[in-house]
Amino acid sequence: MHDEIYNQWKDISDLPQTLIERLRLTYKTLPYAEKSEVITHLYGKEEAHHVINISFEEYRQFVQQANRSLKKLISRMLFYVGSKLFYLLLIFSFANQQRIA
17-61 pLDDT tens trace: 888 887 776 666 666 667 666 677 778 889 989 999 999 999 999
Task: Give the contacts of 10 (CB within 8 A, at least 6 positions apart).
Answer: 45
CA distance 33 to 30: 5
Name the average pLDDT for the chain.
Answer: 83
Dump the DSSP string for 20-75.
Answer: HHHHHHHTT--TT------------HHHHHHHHHHHHHHHHHHHHHHHHHHHHHHH
